[in-house]
C-alpha cells in the first residue's frame, strides 16, 4: 500500500487481502445486524453484500481501520432506507385472518429467540434500528445519534418507546427502579 495526498492507495493485492481478512473476521457479526435490519435472511445477505461493495470501493479512502464496522453499519442503514422507499406495498388488508402455524415444540430458548425476533420485526423501522444498534451492536446513544443523523434525545425516546413495545409484546414486566 502506498499513500499520497488523498490517503492510502492500493498496490498489487494488498487492499484486496486486507478487505478479505476483514470480511472473513467480521462477516458473521455484520450479517446478524443485516438480518435484523432486513427482516429475512435473503434480504439480509443482499443488504450486507451491497454494503460491503460500497465499503470495498471506498476501502483505500478509509484511513481509520477501527471505524470500518461503523462505516459498514451506516452503509447498511442507508441502503436499507433506500430500499424501503422504493418498495411497493406488498401486504394488503383482508377480512379473513390466515391460519397461524403451530410451533413444533422445539427447545424453549429457541422459541424465546423466535418470539423476540418476531417482536423486533413488529417494531417500526427506526425503533428496530435503534434497538439493534443500542443492545445488539452495543453502541452508545451519541454513536447511534450520529449514525442515524438524529439527536441524542430522539435516540433516548425512540429506544424507550421500542423497549416499552417489546415488553408489552413479550409480556415482560418493566424493571422497577432500584430502592434507595
Where exactly are the structural domains of the chain?
8-87, 107-170
Over residues 76-85, mean pLDDT: 86
Once rounded to an integer, what is the mean pLDDT over residues 85-112? 63
Joined together, the cell numbers standing for residue 56 give 470495498
How sure is the predictor about 2, in pLDDT bands with cuts at 50, 70 and 90? very low
8-87 topology per CATH: Rna Polymerase Sigma Factor; Chain: A (1.10.1740)
Q: Give 96 or 160, the one with higher predicted confidence.
A: 160
Q: 3-class SS at 2?
A: strand
pLDDT tens figures, 25-53: 999 999 999 998 888 889 999 999 999 99
Instruction: Return the CATH number of 107-170, one of 3.30.830.10, 3.20.20.70, 1.10.10.10, 1.20.1560.10.
Output: 1.10.10.10
Nearest to 143 by CA among 91, 82, 85, 77: 77
Residue 119 near residue 166 (C-beta atoms within 8 A)? yes
Task: Residue 72: name the closest of 31, 118, 36 by CA.
Answer: 31
Give the pLDDT band (50/70/90) at residue 8. very low
The residue whose grid cell reads 418507546 is 161
| 2 phi and psi angles, rounded to 5 deg | -120, 160
Q: pLDDT value at position 65? A: 81
Distance between first and last Cα of the chain = 58
Find, among 139, 149, 3, the residue nearest to 63 by Cα: 3
Q: Using DSSP bridges, classify how beta strands 2-4 and 7-9 pair: parallel, antiparallel or unpaired.
A: antiparallel
C-alpha cell at 100: 397461524
pLDDT tens track for 121-168: 899 999 999 998 888 888 899 999 998 899 999 999 999 999 999 888
Amino acid at each position: 500500500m502506498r499513500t499520497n495526498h488523498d490517503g492510502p492507495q492500493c498496490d498489487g493485492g494488498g487492499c484486496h487481502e486486507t478487505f478479505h481478512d476483514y470480511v472473513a473476521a467480521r462477516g458473521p457479526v455484520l450479517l446478524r445486524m443485516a438480518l435484523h435490519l432486513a427482516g429475512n435472511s435473503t434480504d439480509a445477505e443482499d443488504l450486507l453484500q451491497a454494503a460491503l461493495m460500497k465499503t470495498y470501493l471506498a476501502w483505500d479512502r478509509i484511513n481509520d481501520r477501527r471505524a470500518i464496522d461503523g462505516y459498514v453499519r451506516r452503509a447498511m442503514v442507508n441502503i436499507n432506507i433506500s430500499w424501503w422507499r422504493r418498495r411497493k406495498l406488498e401486504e394488503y388488508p383482508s377480512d379473513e385472518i390466515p391460519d397461524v402455524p403451530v410451533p413444533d415444540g422445539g427447545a424453549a430458548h429457541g422459541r424465546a429467540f423466535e418470539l423476540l425476533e418476531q417482536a423486533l420485526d413488529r417494531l417500526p423501522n427506526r425503533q428496530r434500528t435503534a434497538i439493534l444498534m443500542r443492545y445488539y451492536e452495543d453502541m452508545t446513544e451519541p454513536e447511534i445519534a450520529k449514525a442515524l443523523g438524529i439527536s441524542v434525545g430522539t435516540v433516548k425516546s425512540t429506544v424507550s418507546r421500542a423497549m416499552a413495545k417489546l415488553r408489552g409484546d413479550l409480556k415482560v414486566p418493566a424493571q422497577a427502579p432500584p430502592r434507595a
